[in-house]
Structure 1
Amino acid sequence: MLKVSEYFDNYFARGKINKFTLAVFVYLLIVLLNIIDYVTEGKLIFTLFYVIIAIFVTRYLNIANAIVISVLASISTAYIDITILNEDLFSPYYYFNLLTRLIVYFIVIYLTHTVQKRESSLEEKIKIRTLDLEEEIRQRKFKESLLIESEEKYRNLLTNQPIALLRMNISTNKVDFANQEFLRQSGYDATEYDNLKDEDYINMIYPDDRERLFNFYKEWATSGFRENSNISYRIINRYGKILWLNTYLYVDRDKNGNPSFINQLCIDVSDQKLNEENLFKSKERYESFIKNSNEGIYRIEFDDPIDISLPKEEIIKQFFFTGYIAECNNIFAKTYGFKLADEIVGIQVSRLMGDSLNDENYKTLNNFIENNYIASNEITEEYDKNWRKIYISNNSAGVIKDGKLLRVWGIQQNITELRESQDKIRILSWAVEQSPDAIVIMDTQFNIQYSNPKFSEISGYSNSEVINKKPFIMLLNESPKELREEIVNTLNSDNIWTGEYLNRTKDGENYWEFAIIAPIKNEKNQTTNYVYIKRNISERKRFEEELIESRLKAEDANKIKSEFIANMSHEIRTPMNGILGMIQLLEMTSLDEEQKDLIETVKYSSDLLLRIINDILDFSKLEFGNVKLSYEPFYLREFGKNLYGMFEIAAKNKNLAFEVIYNSDFNYQIKGDTYRLNQILINLIGNSIKFTNEGFIKLYILEKNKTAKKVSIEFIVVDTGIGIPSEKFEILFDSFTQLENTYTKKYTGTGLGLAIVKKLTDLMKGNISIKSEVGKGSEFCVKIDFEISQ
């Protein structure tokens, strides 16, 4: 059936029969079949034929034609049936026969048309898919041809490109692909690679890079070749040539994600490395030259290149205000007070030149321009970061291109010290020339090489008479031979000779001179010259003789005075003791109140006079050195207790607090003169009580610096008295001195107390110091070293 259908399809497709002819033929065939069916009484069989015909009609005619033919055939066959059966045209049988036939035809047509539609849709899809497959096959063939062409093109490209490519099979450790550049780099043919051994690959790596490269591969392999990577190293190819390679590596993985191939892209960077090395060496030499130079090296750039066709004044302004330090070495930076070059880079030229385009700076820049932008040993005044003036010797040259000043390179030397030294030498020269002392420079043979004007004035010899003509030793005309030998021996021993001697001028006049003769040494500590400085001291000699004579006379007068005072004090003290004795006897008699007051006044005045006499006697003894210390062992605690007992009542009478404070238990004895130590502290404590109206007096006895044999003791007397002005400290310990102020004038005294304290302290090899503030009080500290009694 399918073949019949395909035949008709092809038949109609070739256009051998049209559809109208087919419709007439089908109609007549149905009528004929209907007659045959009736005659043969084979209704069922021929009904099947009707269905088949209806299917063909529906398939090969459109649905409208099929319906028309079906209706006509139904009417015709129905009519034939009723004619043969002699039925009425419009009888029920006719309508039933007609309706039955129509229903059968329409059902067949509907079903056939539905199937036809589905077949048509399927056929259309098959046709479209067939066309798609044909197009896909055509595209695939086209792409395959392009792919083959592309693969060939890229294979040629990879084979001949200047980047070396190597593809290694990880599982077999064999070369899968290597291009011509890789073969050129290594020096091996493609066929030779598979025969290379591990040691051949190792030997191909430059020895210094092997360990680094092996560690790199090991780390990369350990990571599972997860990241693309790269490394630079050297190889030694087959011909012994060393190549630098920048190698980039990545892996291809199989469908399971396991590494299968290692791809290497190796770029020969030997020339680049050589250039870098040469550039590095050049830069290193350049930086080394700048860094290690003993002179300051610098480069000045400008905000914008300066057009040298501009007026000179404009060029100078732009140079001064837009120029800045772009590069320099540390020596240059240190010249301006900076430690490192980085600290000065970027600083304006104007700042270094004092921020002022003054006449001096204008002249410097003008000379640079006038000399075709070259400066040779140009001396400039500039300023460091602390605004200290410095002097610079400059050598510089401008870089000019296309009529514009681009930059300035320069080498400079800080000559500040040289200029200052020159100034010092000049000042020293003036000082020597104008010195009030005669100054002579001699060589090591004592030949005079220089003398100043004062020498000629003192000696009477002119420069022309002595320089390089007369040895110094011949000028010591009146000096004994022994003195000359002493001077020469001292100088030959590289020592300084100082002394006085009698000399004679050229005119024969004698005079005394004081001289200092010293060696002059060079940087190697070698004596190259001697300097001889002398002064005419004849006047001073005469004055000294007069002074000695006056001092002797004064000493004799002072001795007579002291002896008189001592004798008088002794003579006065004898009757005073008698007076005091008689006063004590009078006090024992019956006296009225007035008589008691008179006796008390006489007793107080007599005690005061006796104390004054004792002070004078003690001071006289100290002044003449007649006081001898008596060292005996004693305990400081006991000593302090006695002092407290002496002043306790006096302090209470003035409502003053008095205490003795220790910083140690002092359970050991020291050796000292307790009488003289008492005398020191009695004077100090007595003065504190005398000049303190309220507050306290404290005596500190402090142990300091104790050793096994010695101990230092500080006796500190502190009060809240009237205080002492600081400007009076210097005269405080002078003899017969009392401070003059409105308060101290109310108190009597000889002014010898503190003088005696100072002399006794000195006698004990101690020292005394004072701290005081007017209106707040005073603090006296006596420090004495004692021997510990064993």
Structure 2
Amino acid sequence: MESERTNSDHLIMQMSNIKDVLETAAMGIWRMILKDGCKPRLKASDEMLKLLGIEKGRQMTEEDLCDWWYKRVYPDDIHIAESYMKTLSLGQRKEVTYRWIHPTLGVRHVRCGGIGHKEVDGTIVIEGYHYDITVYIEQKMKDSFIADALAKTYACLLYLDLEKDWYTSFLGSNPIFLKYIPKEGHISEAMRIIPEKICAPNEYENVSKFTDLSTLNERMKYHNSISIIFGGAFVKWIRFTLIVSDRHSDGTIHHMVATMKDISELRDKELKRVEELRENIDANKAKTMMLQNMTHEIRTPLNAMFGFSQLLCMPDTNVTEEQKVEYFKYSRSWSILNISIIVSTCCRCSLTMLWTL
């Protein structure tokens, strides 16, 4: 008899220790009692009362406490809570996550689990735990947003452990990349596959040099990231980037992040801009040459006109007045003709100039 009492006291002490441990972890313990003809009753630990937003010292009946919990279940998640309680009342284990409206903190994400059993008199007793996982859910949502944003940016994102020769893929929006680069595997194998399967045949040599792990530490000794752009086998252009995450004490690389991005559209735009720039340079060269020629062609007859006008002013000369006027008219005509041709060429249209001698 003494032995049984000792075992019972030991069990009570163990349960008390477990309760203390759970409450230290901010986990509430509760018991719900369901009896035909009676309102549901809820018993809760001190930590559970705190999670329910009930001030310390506030007196509430077990029935009111059950109403307090149920009425604050987020409307869209009531079906989750009801299905959960029904499963537990059948003696099955279950854990769910649902939203609950805290009186001061607002909508919270909670995780509950437990099990139930039926007493001899038909009363159903459900016991379980309840804890707030809002911080975890919000962080998970942020991580998901970041992952979605990266997935829209990169076709493939890998985390590399060079020491273990192992990589893990966190993103893979392009199924063709996933076909050749699985979710995880050996880095050395992935670096071999990239030049063999993913790049175009004419890019093999350059890409092989870039993915050579034996020279990676030397090439990235003073750089934390390197990139290469190459033509792809199934997409037009790919940018492959290696980014150092951390290094050993001797400076050698420990972990890296590798990204692949389909830049076909961007690359085509860049090449188009380069071609337009080249055409503009050629046009400017032609324009400069034309202006140089235009200066020469106009300057010569103008100089002649100036010289002949000086001759007309000279009284003593062997050239007759009629000859001087003819020379002058000839130079003027030649000047106007050159100007007409040049202006017509510049404007790319026909031009008629009227003049009288």
- Give the direction of change, closer, same or farther, for the CA distance of 1:199–1:451 in structure 2 (3 Å limit): same
Q: Which residue of 1 aligns with 2:319?
A: none
Q: Which residue of 1 aligns with 2:244?
A: 398
> Secondary structure at the residue paired with 1:290?
helix
Q: Which residue of 2 aligns with 1:417?
A: 268
- Give the direction of change, closer, same or farther, for the CA distance of 1:531–1:383 in structure 2 (3 Å limit): farther
AA partner of residue 268 (structure 2): E
User: What are the equivalent positions in structure 2 for 1:100-119 lying under 5 Å apart?
Assistant: none
Matched, 1:350 2:195: yes
Q: Name the CA distance, whole Å, in 2 between partners of 1:189 and 1:226.
A: 33
Matched, 1:462 2:308: no
Q: Name the CA distance, whole Å, in 2 between partners of 1:225 and 1:275.
A: 30
Q: Name the CA distance, whole Å, in 1 between partners of 2:267 and 2:156.
A: 18
Asked if the contact 1:290/1:329 (under 8 Å) is kept, the reply is no
Q: Name the CA distance, whole Å, in 2 between partners of 1:409 and 1:369.
A: 15
Q: Which residue of 2 aligns with 1:209?
A: 77
Q: Which residue of 1 aligns with 2:146?
A: 286
Q: Which residue of 2 aligns with 1:692?
A: none
Q: Name the CA distance, whole Å, in 2 between partners of 1:325 and 1:228.
A: 34
How many residue pairs match? The answer is 286
Q: Which residue of 2 aligns with 1:261?
A: 124
Asked if the contact 2:195/2:207 (under 8 Å) is kept, the reply is no
Superposed CA deviations along residues 28-87 of structure 1, whole A, max 9, x for unmatched, are xxxxxxxxxxxxxxxxxxxxxxxxxxxxxxxxxxxxxxxxxxxxxxxxxxxxxxxxxxxx
Q: Name the CA distance, whole Å, in 2 between partners of 1:371 and 1:192.
A: 68
Q: Name the CA distance, whole Å, in 2 between partners of 1:405 and 1:201.
A: 50
Identify the match of residue 193 of structure 1 among 56, 61, 64: 61
AA partner of residue 349 (structure 1): I
Instruction: After TM superposition, give the deviation of residue 168 of structure 1 in Å.
Output: 1.5
Identify the match of residue 31 of structure 2 among 166, 169, 174: 166
Q: Name the CA distance, whole Å, in 2 between partners of 1:363 and 1:165.
A: 60
Asked if the contact 2:109/2:137 (under 8 Å) is kept, the reply is no
Superposed CA deviations along residues 130-186 of structure 1, whole A, max 9, x for unmatched, are xxxxxxxxxxx2344235424543563476452503152524446586544444444
TM-score, with normalisation over the residues of structure 2?
0.55
- Give the direction of change, closer, same or farther, for the CA distance of 1:401–1:170 in structure 2 (3 Å limit): farther
AA partner of residue 247 (structure 1): G
Matched, 1:227 2:54: no
Q: Name the CA distance, whole Å, in 1 between partners of 2:81 and 2:62.
A: 22
Instruction: After TM superposition, give the deviation of residue 327 of structure 1 in Å.
Output: 5.5
Q: Name the CA distance, whole Å, in 2 between partners of 1:148 and 1:391.
A: 70
AA partner of residue 232 (structure 1): T
Identify the match of residue 162 of structure 2 among 305, 316, 319: 305
> Secondary structure at the residue paired with 1:259?
coil
Asked if the contact 1:204/1:236 (under 8 Å) is kept, the reply is yes
AA partner of residue 382 (structure 1): F
Q: Which residue of 2 aligns with 1:273?
A: 134
Q: Name the CA distance, whole Å, in 1 between partners of 2:90 and 2:274.
A: 76
Q: Name the CA distance, whole Å, in 2 between partners of 1:292 and 1:152.
A: 56
Identify the match of residue 372 of structure 1 among 222, 225, 246: 222
User: What are the equivalent positions in structure 2 for 1:510-525 lying under 5 Å apart?
Assistant: none
Q: Name the CA distance, whole Å, in 1 between partners of 2:162 and 2:91.
A: 53
Identify the match of residue 532 of structure 1 among 345, 348, 356: 348
Q: Name the CA distance, whole Å, in 2 between partners of 1:369 and 1:417.
A: 29
Which structure has the larger Rg over C-alpha atoms? 1
Instruction: After TM superposition, give the deviation of residue 246 of structure 1 in Å.
Output: 1.0
Asked if the contact 1:209/1:234 (under 8 Å) is kept, the reply is yes
Instruction: After TM superposition, give the deviation of residue 265 of structure 1 in Å.
Output: 0.8
AA partner of residue 350 (structure 1): P
Q: Name the CA distance, whole Å, in 2 between partners of 1:263 and 1:195.
A: 15
- Give the direction of change, closer, same or farther, for the CA distance of 1:228–1:198 in structure 2 (3 Å limit): closer
Matched, 1:246 2:112: yes
- Give the direction of change, closer, same or farther, for the CA distance of 1:201–1:306 in structure 2 (3 Å limit): closer
Instruction: After TM superposition, give the deviation of residue 286 of structure 1 in Å.
Output: 1.8
Superposed CA deviations along residues 540-593 of structure 1, whole A, max 9, x for unmatched, are xxxxxxxxxxxxxxxxxxxxxxxxxxxxxxxxxxxxxxxxxxxxxxxxxxxxxx
- Give the direction of change, closer, same or farther, for the CA distance of 1:418–1:214 in structure 2 (3 Å limit): closer
Asked if the contact 1:397/1:409 (under 8 Å) is kept, the reply is yes
Q: Which residue of 2 aligns with 1:407?
A: 256
- Give the direction of change, closer, same or farther, for the CA distance of 1:266–1:144 in structure 2 (3 Å limit): same
- Give the direction of change, closer, same or farther, for the CA distance of 1:259–1:505 in structure 2 (3 Å limit): farther
AA partner of residue 210 (structure 1): I
- Give the direction of change, closer, same or farther, for the CA distance of 1:180–1:353 in structure 2 (3 Å limit): same
Q: Name the CA distance, whole Å, in 1 between partners of 2:109 and 2:267.
A: 54
> Secondary structure at the residue paired with 1:286?
helix
Instruction: After TM superposition, give the deviation of residue 384 of structure 1 in Å.
Output: 1.1
Instruction: After TM superposition, give the deviation of residue 231 of structure 1 in Å.
Output: 3.2
Matched, 1:156 2:25: no
Instruction: After TM superposition, give the deviation of residue 323 of structure 1 in Å.
Output: 9.9
AA partner of residue 404 (structure 1): I
- Give the direction of change, closer, same or farther, for the CA distance of 1:142–1:372 in structure 2 (3 Å limit): same
Instruction: After TM superposition, give the deviation of residue 233 of structure 1 in Å.
Output: 3.2
Q: Name the CA distance, whole Å, in 1 between partners of 2:90 and 2:29.
A: 20
Query: Sequence identity of aligned pairs in percent?
Result: 6
> Secondary structure at the residue paired with 1:451?
helix
> Secondary structure at the residue paired with 1:196?
helix
- Give the direction of change, closer, same or farther, for the CA distance of 1:426–1:276 in structure 2 (3 Å limit): closer
Q: Name the CA distance, whole Å, in 2 between partners of 1:370 and 1:228.
A: 54
Q: Name the CA distance, whole Å, in 2 between partners of 1:183 and 1:329.
A: 45
Asked if the contact 1:225/1:259 (under 8 Å) is kept, the reply is no
Asked if the contact 2:40/2:63 (under 8 Å) is kept, the reply is no
- Give the direction of change, closer, same or farther, for the CA distance of 1:391–1:301 in structure 2 (3 Å limit): closer
Instruction: After TM superposition, give the deviation of residue 266 of structure 1 in Å.
Output: 1.6
Task: Report 1 or 2 for greater relative contact order, CA contacts < 8 Å, sequence distance ≥ 6.
Answer: 2
- Give the direction of change, closer, same or farther, for the CA distance of 1:189–1:297 in structure 2 (3 Å limit): same
Q: Which residue of 1 aligns with 2:313?
A: none
AA partner of residue 348 (structure 2): Y
- Give the direction of change, closer, same or farther, for the CA distance of 1:250–1:512 in structure 2 (3 Å limit): same
Asked if the contact 1:164/1:178 (under 8 Å) is kept, the reply is yes
- Give the direction of change, closer, same or farther, for the CA distance of 1:146–1:285 in structure 2 (3 Å limit): same
AA partner of residue 256 (structure 2): R
Matched, 1:451 2:301: no
Q: Name the CA distance, whole Å, in 1 between partners of 2:195 and 2:247.
A: 24
AA partner of residue 123 (structure 2): S
